[in-house]
A and B are shown apart, each in its own frame.
Chain A
């Protein structure tokens, strides 16, 4: 058995930032992650990180950043949390810079910015189009500097709940197959998003909603799980992400007639309207026959080769490698693709969930910054601001505890062993976990996507229930102890199915259109009845839905146009 004050699950930006903060406060901290920290999906964020820095020559303020975020969220974000993020953002950017991030500079050697979607001012700090990677690797450097204990390539099987509080995790060392108990006075969940619940998705194969599912199972509610973001520019073919930074640098979206169609949908912000708006516009263009092969185009030609090489090098490489298009010379076919979930483990601005001792930060959490739609470059910001805050809050919680061991270690381990043994003992049902996942992903992408209807979402929900039954018959045919992918992918599928069900049920419940949740049968936003959060709890006999008011501080709802 291992024991720490604070256990952080996940080693992306939020997790590592939380761990570093906790360690600075003198706590005994450990990080557990199913992949090496620099393999985490924070890597994939390309465009940048927002902060209203102000300073000479800038009339940007934290209030404007907060307002843009509130408007981007379609008034579903909690304004108290949004204020915290917008106010604290500059200091966190400076800290990243001090840690070593090589942010782009202006001619005076100061931090430079680029334009980004849904923002009234230019406030996105960046490193070419590899901002997430640049930040993630620097955060890992800081983790090494701190000499942090990392349970690397360990897979978390369950969270321990004792007397109503989260008290650690049971996990498998993926290299040996050994199951171990790691006790902690506080746990910070920072295990990232759910991309693989959808097919296709821009997300990596590791984004399987593990953190949400683990928290959900010990009674933490998920909030606004219906809010799933489709990114407007994902590559035809493999669905890879092409940064919003391209449009920030001035790239156009054009349809098959070469028309900049965004002028119809967002005459002011054009291509830089918020993501839900742009994705819907593209979907309409494609549906109405002005696309080509289910795609429209991202046109970078007028930006010139030099700018493209310096600031958009990675997407030039991706377009060339995966779609065989040289973006210097030709428009590249793109379409909306599942990218991010605004919903997640309900937390307050200190990362505390409804289960004492369990904190959450990053994509798996819902502090309620993004509400119905996340603005580009607010997700990296969320990871550092709320990673830091949850790290601090978790240490404070841990200090108030002197937690004795209650549930026996053997029992915790045996429960997991029995569950795994059952999977291994079952006869092969004629299908693999990948087949079940694919069916789940396709139905989610079909019906719980850019446009939704009651009928479609019901079909998706029914399919998920059927797939859950199929899941219980799955057989893990690899009985090896070392790096048993067959086992991990099966356990990940269980997590994904729970998340998919929560998403379907939350989406069915919300009978209006708001942010990314756009219903053809309820096309309008309905502030009177629906300006509230959807909470979903895991319960016997299916998810239980509840609601929570949205926190309004100074920005009452307005009509949302771009």
Chain B
């Protein structure tokens, strides 16, 4: 047995105020943070609210922030977050409104899952037996299907912090599960890729890796987002800032050996999209005033031809 010191962020729905409350409980040496929380609510403070069920990292109920990062409380050992008896700080999921104590409002989370039309759109009529599909394709989807929709990735997503419109890592990983499914029709797949390429979709991820790091089931949502991007570009969905940004990036590096920052923004927006360009004029002016605008004169680096050659080799492959 060992003593655990918990500092729990509690939200009172009546006053709509949050405060931290300290608890001390005795648990088994092998206990998870969830065991400590359950010990509190069962024997010390029955008013403490938390969602939890399976205790085996499969139901996805008990995602919360432990010492500042989203985790499944049931699979987070006390000994791993508090090796020397340090106080463990427990808070509800981020990027969500608290409902009561550790219970967060998952409504927006599910709304975004629904937004990607998360159901298979196979060719019809269905065969009498199963659709024939290669095991490799099914195995590839296991990674995404492993997602238990706990919300840890969404909690710690740095894009959602500033842009609530972002579909977010969980729903996009879910979308990959269909994009990558050989049973979907071409039409359905194209429609998905087209929708996902829009504002709020795959190109809004900034590759911060937080979701990959906090995912308790190794779904690696960001990798799934990159998978969808590759699929979208390959399928010809190129008319968007994300693809243009990536093209501009590659083009300048290929030909000059380094990034031409001056051209990056206008090329990402589309050189012919005057309206979009004009929107950035005030930002550009402020940047000029602060001396933050990169030089319009972009020089070829010595040895750039080698970079070009590498690009050519890669493109051949």
Interface residues of A, Cβ cutoff 8 Å to B: 35-36, 38-41, 43-44, 55, 94, 97-100, 102-112, 127-128, 130, 133-134, 137-138, 141-142, 144-145, 175, 204-206, 237-238, 240-241, 310, 314, 317-318, 321-322, 324, 432-435, 476-478, 480-486, 489
Question: Which residue of the partner chain B has the closest CB to A55?
Answer: B129
Question: Which residue of the partner chain A has the closest CB to B131?
Answer: A97
Contact (Cβ within 8 A) B100 A480: yes
Minimum C-beta distance from A440 to chain B (A):
14
Contact (Cβ within 8 A) A318 B56: yes
Minimum C-beta distance from B59 to chain A (A):
5
Contact (Cβ within 8 A) A483 B183: no
- In the A-B complex, list the 10 residue pairs whose CB atoms are closest, starting with the nearest: A434-B42, A100-B120, A204-B53, A482-B13, A105-B135, A478-B47, A109-B132, A486-B46, A141-B119, A204-B54
Contact (Cβ within 8 A) A39 B53: yes
Contact (Cβ within 8 A) A102 B130: no
Question: Which residue of the partner chain A has the closest CB to B103?
Answer: A483
> With an 8 A cutoff between CB atoms, is B14 at the interface?
yes
Chain A hits for B30, CB < 8 A: 237-238, 322, 324
Given known A-B contacts A44-B56, A44-B58, A105-B134, A434 and B43 have beta carbons under 8 A apart: yes
Given known A-B contacts A36-B106, A109-B134, A175-B99, A130 and B59 have beta carbons under 8 A apart: no
Chain A hits for B178, CB < 8 A: 100
Chain A hits for B53, CB < 8 A: 35, 39, 41, 204-206
Contact (Cβ within 8 A) A485 B60: no
Which of B138-146, B160-168, B229-237 is found at the contact surface with chain A?
B138-146
Contact (Cβ within 8 A) A130 B131: no
- Bound: A481/B77 CA distance, A: 32
Contact (Cβ within 8 A) A477 B54: no
Interface residues of B, Cβ cutoff 8 Å to A: 13-14, 30, 41-43, 46-61, 75, 77, 99-101, 103, 106, 110, 113-114, 118-120, 122, 126, 128-135, 138-139, 141-142, 145-146, 148-149, 178, 181, 183
- Bound: A144/B117 CA distance, A: 8
- A-B pairs with beta carbons under 8 Å apart, 20 shown: A35-B59, A39-B51, A40-B59, A41-B53, A44-B59, A94-B126, A97-B130, A98-B131, A100-B119, A102-B145, A133-B145, A142-B119, A144-B113, A145-B119, A310-B139, A321-B77, A478-B46, A480-B14, A483-B100, A483-B103
Contact (Cβ within 8 A) B75 A321: yes
Contact (Cβ within 8 A) B42 A432: yes
- Bound: A432/B142 CA distance, A: 42
Given known A-B contacts A99-B120, A109-B135, A134-B145, A485 and B56 have beta carbons under 8 A apart: no
Given known A-B contacts A38-B149, A44-B54, A435-B43, A102 and B132 have beta carbons under 8 A apart: no
Chain A hits for B131, CB < 8 A: 97-98
Contact (Cβ within 8 A) B119 A432: no
- Bound: A433/B43 CA distance, A: 9
- Bound: A288/B57 CA distance, A: 34
Contact (Cβ within 8 A) A128 B118: no
Minimum C-beta distance from B134 to chain A (A):
5
Given known A-B contacts A97-B130, A486-B46, A130 and B146 have beta carbons under 8 A apart: yes
Question: Which residue of the partner chain B has the closest CB to A238?
Answer: B55
Contact (Cβ within 8 A) B13 A481: yes
- Bound: A41/B105 CA distance, A: 21
Contact (Cβ within 8 A) A109 B56: no
Question: Which residue of the partner chain B has the closest CB to A203?
Answer: B54
| Residue among B106, B130, B133, B183 with max Cβ neighbours from chain A (10 Å) | B130
Contact (Cβ within 8 A) A103 B13: no
- Bound: A109/B41 CA distance, A: 49
Contact (Cβ within 8 A) A141 B120: yes
Chain A hits for B56, CB < 8 A: 44, 238, 240-241, 318, 322
Contact (Cβ within 8 A) B130 A110: yes
Question: Which residue of the partner chain B has the closest CB to A141?
Answer: B119
| Residue among A36, A99, A476 with max Cβ neighbours from chain B (10 Å) | A36
- Bound: A238/B74 CA distance, A: 11
Contact (Cβ within 8 A) A111 B142: no
Contact (Cβ within 8 A) B135 A104: yes
Chain A hits for B100, CB < 8 A: 480, 482-483
Contact (Cβ within 8 A) B99 A483: yes
- Bound: A39/B114 CA distance, A: 17
Contact (Cβ within 8 A) B99 A102: no
Chain B hits for A40, CB < 8 A: 59
Chain B hits for A133, CB < 8 A: 58, 145, 148
Chain A hits for B60, CB < 8 A: 38-39
Contact (Cβ within 8 A) A127 B142: yes
| Residue among B30, B46, B149 with max Cβ neighbours from chain A (10 Å) | B46
- Bound: A226/B149 CA distance, A: 36
Contact (Cβ within 8 A) B59 A41: yes
Question: Which residue of the partner chain A has the closest CB to B138?
Answer: A102
- Bound: A112/B181 CA distance, A: 17
- Bound: A432/B113 CA distance, A: 38
